[in-house]
Amino acid sequence: MTAPTTYWLEHAWLGTHVEPGVILTTGPDGRITDLRTGVDSPPPGAEVLRGLTIPGLANAHSHAFHRALRSTVQVGSGTFWTWRDFMYKVAQNLTPDTYYALARAAYAEMALAGITNVGEFHYVHHAPGGTPYADPNAMGEALIEAAAAAGIRITLLDTAYLSAGFGEAPEAHQLRFSDGTADAWAERASALKGGGHARIGAAIHSVRAVPADQLATVARWAEERRAPLHVHLSEQTAENDACRAAHGRTPTQLLADHGVLGPRTTGVHNTHLTDADIALLGGTGTGTCMCPTTERDLADGIGPAARLQHAGSPLSLGSDSHAVIDLLEEARAMELNERLRSRTRGHWTANALLTAATADGHAALGLPDAGRLEAGALADFTTIALDSVRTAGAVPRLGAETAVFAATASDVRHTVVAGRHIVRDGAHTLVPDVPSALSESIAALRA
C-alpha cells in the first residue's frame, strides 16, 4: 500500500497527444484514481513533475546478466556465435547471490531510464554442471527479489532450454540451463510464486533449444495459466537453415504446428522471416519484440517490423543484451532502421513508437492495465526533461517527437511505480549509488 498522492504534470502524453497542465492522483492500491486536464498551475500540496510525463516504459526482453558483457564484447570482430561463447563464460560464474547483486544494479539502471516493468527471459536455472540448487528456483527468485529491491515490476519468463541444437544434447556450459525435459521444466516452473510486483510467464528459448515434440508442453503450461509466452525466433539465418534441415519447415511454421503461436505469445527478434512466416505471426496475433540495439550490435540484421505490424503482430521493444539500456533509443532505432532499409521516412509516428514502448510492451508482459495515463491503470509513469541540451527548444506539444527522436535515458528525471517515487530528480531512491552497484557486481563475476 502506498499513500495517495496528487501529481501535477507540466505536460503529459495521453497516447495520442500532449496535454499541458494535468492533475494525476494515485490511490493506496497503486493505481491512478483520477486524471484531469486543463490545470494551469500546481494546486497546493501537489508533487510537481516538470517536463513530459509518459506511462512507464516496458522492457519486454532482458537477460540481466548480459549487463556484465558491456564493452568487453566490443573488442575485435566476430559473429553472434563468438559473442555467445563469451556470454557462456560469464553465465558460468553466476550464483544466486551474485546474480541478485547484478540484477538489482541492472534493474536500478532500468528505473533510471524510465523502465517500470522488465520481461526477464531467464534460463540460468541450476548450478554449473546442471545440479539443481537446494531451492530449484533459487536463481529465478533472486531475480524477483532484485526487481523488488530496485523498485520495478518483473515478468519472469522462466525459460525452457533443453538442447544445444536439433537432436543435440546440451553442451557442458548449457547444462545449468536445462531441466532435462519440458515436463521437468514445467514442474519446477510451477513452484515459482508471483504476486505484487512479480508475474510469472514462460519462454521457449528457441526451436533449436526445445525439441519439437516438447514445444506443446511449454505452450500448454502457459495456456493453462493465461500467462505470457515468449520465444527467440529466427534471430539467425543459421537457425532457420538448421530447422529446415531437421523439420522441413521454418521455425515459425514449426511453432505454429505445435500450438505455440497466439495473442499471448511474443516472438523476440523475428528477423529472418518468409512472407508465409509474417502472415502466420500476424494472422495469429502473435507479438513481435524488436531489440534494435542488440540486433545491430550482434550484426543480426533488420527485422521486418513494419510488415509484421501491418499483418497484425503487435510490436514491443527490449534492450536484450543491454549494449545500452535506453528504450527511447530502441524506439528511435526501430524507425531509423526501417528508413535505412527502405530509404523513405516516417514508418511510425512518435505516438506509435511510444505505444510500442509502453502499452503494447506491458501487454506483451501480461499487464494490459499498465502503459496508459488513465483512471484505473497502474500508477507507473516516468517524466522526461524538456530542458536538457538534447531536448531544449522543442515545442511542448511535440513532446512525443522530442522524446523519441532526441531524448535519451539520461533525460529521465522521475520514475514512479505503483504510485511510489523510485527515481526522483534523476536519483534512485532505493539504490543510492547505481554506478558503484554495477561496478562491484560485475567485478565479482570476473574475480
DSSP 95-153: -HHHHHHHHHHHHHHHHHTTEEEEEEEE---S-TTSPPPSSTTHHHHHHHHHHHHHT-E
320 catalytically annotated: yes
Phi/psi of residue 382, nearest 5 degrees: -140, 150
Which is the catalytic residue, given 66, 258, 269, 347? 269
Written as nine digits, the cell of 155 is 515478468
List, for residues 342-391, the tens digit of each pLDDT value. Answer: 999 999 999 999 999 999 999 999 999 999 999 999 999 999 999 999 99
The answer to whether 350 and 313 are in contact (CB under 8 A) is: no
pTM of the model: 0.97
List, for residues 421-431, the tens digit of each pLDDT value. Answer: 999 999 999 99
List, for residues 123-148, the tens digit of each pLDDT value. Answer: 999 999 999 999 999 999 999 999 99
pLDDT given for residue 299 in this prediction = 87
Written as nine digits, the cell of 307 is 510488415
* CA–CA gap between residue 358 and residue 11 (Å, rounded): 17
* CA–CA gap between residue 63 and residue 94 (Å, rounded): 13
197 catalytically annotated: no
Which is the catalytic residue, given 179, 320, 326, 360? 320
pLDDT given for residue 1 in this prediction = 64
Strand-pair partners of 31: 378
List, for residues 56-87, the tens digit of each pLDDT value. Answer: 999 999 999 999 988 777 777 766 666 777 77
